[in-house]
Chain A
Amino acid sequence: MTPIQFLLILFSFLMVLFYFQRLRSRLLDRFVFFLLGVVAVVMVARPDWANAVAHFLGVGRGADLVTYLGISGLAFLWLGLYTRQRELDVRLTELARRMTILQAEAPKKKGRRRK
């Protein structure tokens, strides 16, 4: 095993460990993340397997396949985060708006209120 393989495998382990300990605990999420970790370790430990899969899919090298999948995955992740961000913006705006209206100051003299 080369040093870089050791480092990458260690990194994958730590990621899975961190996820299990700190983040969401839905069973499906855990399962998916665990599976990703296993795939990562296998790809690192046995590059020839990755090569075989890549050839099967019409990609020259396993490393290229990992790059392509990685970029697609990241793009997907980014979109998800962006959508979530916008949802949060909407909620934050709504909250700020209600607060603002509750604290509004009507003019003293000619303030006409109804209802």
Chain B
Amino acid sequence: MPKQAVLNSDIFIVVPAYNESAVIRSILRPLVASGYSVVAVDDGSRDKTWGQLKGLGVHRLRHPFNLGQGAALQTGVSYALQQGAQYILHFDADGQHSPEDIPGLLAPLLAGRADVVLGSRFLRKEDWQIVPPTRRVLLKMAIFINWLLVSLWLSDAHNGARAFSRRAARQIVLKENGFAHATEILQQIRSLGLRFQERPTRILYTEYSKLKGQRVWNAFDIFVDLVIKRLLR
């Protein structure tokens, strides 16, 4: 039972965008229409993403140069906290997430049953059936690597849809600027002792999102980032 009514405008959706001018407006519109506060972080795009963010009714933030998705998320979250956000979501800008999944991600937070909710594309049959086979294998490997590094066994890895309570968003501080932030979040959830749940999300594999998404060799980069960080800490 929610303790008090939560306005949608107290729910901030952080959308990091790097060279997404082709799709960004159509991604953001339904989010704004649902009454959520939307924080779009242009991560130093070289295309017209920044201009595309105008007139949508979103908070516009722009990195002076490209810093990476992890950095853009942290910038958006820091800003949202300043603006008084009660709940904060991460949402990818390439159109792979469905706005309809947002209430499901928020539910455990609103009910006070979790501090962090992670989206998973492997909880519903209809969701994982649309994951391309090579992606499936890669993600299973990532799940295993996450387990090795963080000792958390999850059903999905590198799913960009996540939801945080204000408290959790304040405590989690991302230092990994690149894509290794996905594992870093898990590390911090664990070390901070935050309560988390997984909720189903539908990942749409459009030609566009496949093109923009992480490639196979990126996985190796991410792994090296994480290992080096462990060694040099």
Give me the interface of A with B, judged by CB distance under 8 Å: 79, 82-83, 86, 89-90, 93, 96-97, 99-101, 103-110, 112-115
Contacts and interface: CB of A to CB of B under 8 A. Distances in A.
Nearest to B74: A97
**DSSP majority for the B interface?**
mixed
A86 B177 CA distance: 11
24 contacts: A79-B232, A82-B232, A83-B232, A89-B177, A90-B175, A96-B63, A96-B65, A97-B74, A97-B78, A101-B78, A101-B82, A103-B62, A104-B60, A104-B61, A104-B79, A105-B61, A106-B83, A107-B59, A109-B57, A110-B57, A112-B37, A112-B83, A113-B83, A115-B84
Given A86-B232, A89-B177, A93-B67, A105 B84 contact: no
A108 B53 CA distance: 13
B178 to A, nearest CB: 10
A100 B75 contact: yes
B64 interface: yes
B197 interface: no
Interface of B: 9, 37, 41, 56-65, 67, 71, 74-75, 78-79, 82-84, 175, 177, 232
A88 to B, nearest CB: 12
B71 A97 contact: yes
A93 B67 CA distance: 7
Nearest to A82: B232
Nearest to A90: B175
Contacts of B58: 107
A97 B75 contact: yes
A28 B71 CA distance: 38
Nearest to A112: B9
A30 B78 CA distance: 43
Contact of B79 (A79, A89, A101, A115): A101
Given A112-B9, A112-B84, A104 B67 contact: no
Given A96-B65, A103-B61, 9 more contacts: A86-B232, A93-B67, A93-B177, A96-B67, A100-B75, A106-B59, A109-B57, A110-B57, A114-B83
B187 to A, nearest CB: 17
A69 B177 CA distance: 35
B59 A104 contact: yes
A86 B57 CA distance: 36
A105 B60 contact: yes
A83 B233 CA distance: 9
A100 B39 CA distance: 12
A101 B59 contact: no
A90 B62 CA distance: 18
A84 to B, nearest CB: 11
Contacts of B9: 110, 112
Task: Name the residue in A108, A109, A114 with the highest tally of chain B Cβ atoms < 10 Å from its Cβ.
Answer: A114
